[in-house]
Amino acid sequence: MIIGGGPAGMTAAVYAARKKLKTLLISKDIGGQPNLTAGIENYMGYQFIEGLELMQKFEEQVKQFPLEMKIGGMVSNLSQIDGGFAAKTDKNETYQAKAAIIATGKRPRPLNVPGEEKLRARGVTYCAVCDGPLFAGMNVAVIGGGNSALEATDDMIKIAKHVYLITLTPLTGDPILIDKVKGAKNLTVFLEHEVLEIKGEDFVEGVRVRDLKSKQEKELEVGGVFIEIGLIPNSEAFKRMIPLNRLGEIEVNCANETGIPGLFAAGDVTTVPEKQIVVAAGEGAKAALQAHRYLQRLENKFPRSKQNCKRRNKEQGKEAKMGVKKIGEKYRCNVCGNEVTVTKVGGGTLVCCGQDMERISL
């Protein structure tokens, strides 16, 4: 069972299906955050491609495999049951599986100022790619100083009358994106300013901002506000079950394991750094391969003898694999699951069940 339909989830689905696993993908939508990305220049195989188009190609590939997709419902609770996991959706549907991969990604972070909620979808938006054309010829404000804010600014300076870019800090986005917007005649940048209020009755009419240094306030007349201040992990449904870090991300090891046998996580919802489409896709592939190995062990598809493995590993732990530099490194057999801790640095190869063991930690 794969929870999430973004790059990580869809890649995991393809890898799981190719391993002949009975695969179910559950997601409220297909594509996730890349759907909101105007242009992608760093996904190999494409010099340039729209985020939505890339996700459509992902979906086309997923549908080439014999797997089940449940789109439209969001998993509200995941729990352990005998023999695996049960996922309940906000549509009161329940699905069960022996192994699960969480790949729910992230969602836009709200600004949390007066007027934001009231004027949501009435001039307040979180997606310049989706809604930008609605504000052609108008004055608009873009809130944020990172890549998403700069991409939104680049989109809007081409079609808006005037763009106000408002950020609490200096610009933190990629230099190439800063260069794209720098010098635009219809752009005014307010560095180290905070938004105090989004004003308007039925629709957005303006924003009130304050200079963090001088404390001087001013009102800007705008018809649209694009909030681009980062993302929040979609991990609420799992926080009672697995550890989250202070950012709300799911903690995983290098094998995408959460600490609960059979439960894996991949993509932007995890602690893996560098939130990129290509990274998320790779993590989804890893998670599916690890889930396959877990199910192999569960189904006893390989002969194994834990006692023999443990006895052999106890001896091999004294002679570490070539390249080991620290005592205390741990290795695991991907077939039987037994682990060994290095107690003495030396040569040789750690082997178990006919395969080299995999290093899992320092």
Distance of alpha carbon 229 from alpha carbon 143, whole angstroms: 7
Residue ranges covered by each domain of the chain: 2-107+231-298, 124-227, 306-361
What is the structure's pLDDT at 331? 79
pTM above 0.85, yes or no: no
Three-class secondary structure of residue 152 per DSSP: helix
Counting Cβ atoms within 10 Å, is residue 351 exposed (0-12), middle (13-18) or buried (19+)? middle
Low-confidence stretches of the chain (pLDDT < 50) are 302-325
| 150, 138 contact by CB (below 8 A) | no
What is the structure's pLDDT at 349? 62
Distance of alpha carbon 51 from alpha carbon 95, whole angstroms: 30
What is the structure's pLDDT at 304? 46
Q: Please indicate whether the domains covering 124-227 and 306-361 agree at the CATH topology level.
A: no
What is the structure's pLDDT at 37? 78
Which amino acid belongs to residue 328? Answer: G
Instruction: Provide CATH code, domain 306-361.
Output: 2.20.28.100
Catalytic sites, residue numbers: 127, 130-131
Enter the tokens of residue 347: 């040569």
| 8, 264 contact by CB (below 8 A) | no
Cβ atoms < 10 Å from Cβ of 266: 35
Instruction: Provide CATH code, domain 2-107+231-298.
Output: 3.50.50.60
What is the structure's pLDDT at 311? 45
Topology adopted by domain 124-227: FAD/NAD(P)-binding domain (3.50.50)
